[in-house]
Amino acid sequence: MLAYRSINPYSLETVSEHPDLADADLDQVIARSQEAFYSDWGQRTVASRAEVLRRAADMLDRDVDRHARTITLEMGKLIGEVRDEVRLTAAILRYYGDNAERLLAPVAVETDLAREATIVTRPLGPIFCIEPWNLPYYQLVRVAAPNLAAGNTVIAKPAPGVPASSLAFERLLHDAGAPSGVYQTVFVSNEQAGRIVAQPRVRGVALTGSERAGSAVAAEAGKALKKCTMELGGSNAFIIRDDADLDHAVKLAVQGRLMNTGQACAGSKRFIVHEHVFGLFTKRFGAAMDSLVSGDPLDERTTLGPLVNETAVKSILDQINRAIAGGAQVVTGGQRLDRPGCFIAATILEMQPDNPVAQEELFAPVAMVFRVRDDAEAIRLANDTPFGLGASIVTRDIERARALADQIDAGMVFINSNVLSAPELPFGGVKNSGFGRELSDLGIGEFVNRKLVTLN
């Protein structure tokens, strides 16, 4: 079976398949990327590069449905959510198209040691990114847009399950005017990816994926003495205080856990609820989960789509069974749905902190709920995880929420909302959730040379 092969998780039909890149062609990919950087892209004005990004954004906005359908057929995401992903992708392209000159402008430094001192921003060269399947356009654009704006060229390895979406994103950039070699999609094995990381002509590495993949790639990048960024897993805490608006809390809980059918690193996964509202919240949360309608993700009426593949179904069922064996109580769900396709019932597990699954990331529409006595216990539990990507707090006491947010060990905290992603907001985490930031002014500064130039 070809490694880069996508199967529609609803119909189980093959969507797209492609062979791995031949070893003999791998060096040519890197050579084209370097040649495009030195002969064209890296030497252009920022304004010239920005115009390509703006054209890509306009083209994407004009053809949202076609791009969205490609993604849904390939990995099963609900069509309404995919349209939002495509529009967000366009917004990110446009943000860097509109703001690149400002973000990359020279910065004067006051000093007594020189008549003038200026920090100028220059691109590094080819950047290699390794991206997952769960948000095929959004994950790619978070690396591609800022790096292309900065003048770097990009070699992108997508996940094996989304080749069609990855090629469609590449065609978008080329149709918008990106020259040959500036952005290249490569279907390569993990071994070949390691060789790209080690290649001296590649100047940086960005990865979004699992802890295991991040550890392996970061080790290879470290041996090659090159910069890398890692956006890894998350098990985001969702704290509900005793003064929370429960209507709002339940709405956010369903949205946060069902984001991308639960297959999102930044989705809400561990619901930490004050004991005074635990019973009522859990009952209403369960009723809302039970009301979801499974079906074709292309159907607007569907509210619960399939998981990405059969492996994902088997993995989450194993986690559910181990959680139950460790003492978890099933509030609702807990089983595979009796229908064709890769469907799992929307599930709530009442857990104790010492449950062996409590430290794991659940990549499915499965929520863990925990009962706590007070804010102090909520913070301890929120931080009792190897991950540190994001967290949410639901409360009417905003000043108290700000104080709690300061105590949460995460890269992002959202008060009275789920995760928010916008071009101007930095995205990233701490601990085993990785390092570095994507999007905003921070994202465009990860793979550049901040060069000091003085005049005496």
Which residues form the catalytic set? 231, 265
The answer to whether 392 touches 418, Cβ cutoff 8 Å, is yes
d(CA 284, CA 401) in angstroms, rounded, equals: 23
> How far is it between the farthest Cα atoms of the chain?
76
174 Cβ contact partners less than 8 Å away, ≥ 6 residues apart: 180, 183
d(CA 271, CA 350) in angstroms, rounded, equals: 9
d(CA 335, CA 313) in angstroms, rounded, equals: 10
**How far is CA 328 from each of CA 303, 347, 453, rounded to the nearest angstrom?**
26, 12, 61
65 Cβ contact partners less than 8 Å away, ≥ 6 residues apart: 83
Residue entry with tokens 């921070």? 442
d(CA 186, CA 30) in angstroms, rounded, equals: 10
SS3 204: strand
d(CA 372, CA 237) in angstroms, rounded, equals: 13
Q: Report the run of H or E that residue 252 belongs to, with start and end.
A: helix 246-258
d(CA 433, CA 285) in angstroms, rounded, equals: 27
End-to-end Cα separation, the chain, in angstroms: 64
d(CA 327, CA 347) in angstroms, rounded, equals: 16
The answer to whether 29 touches 23, Cβ cutoff 8 Å, is no
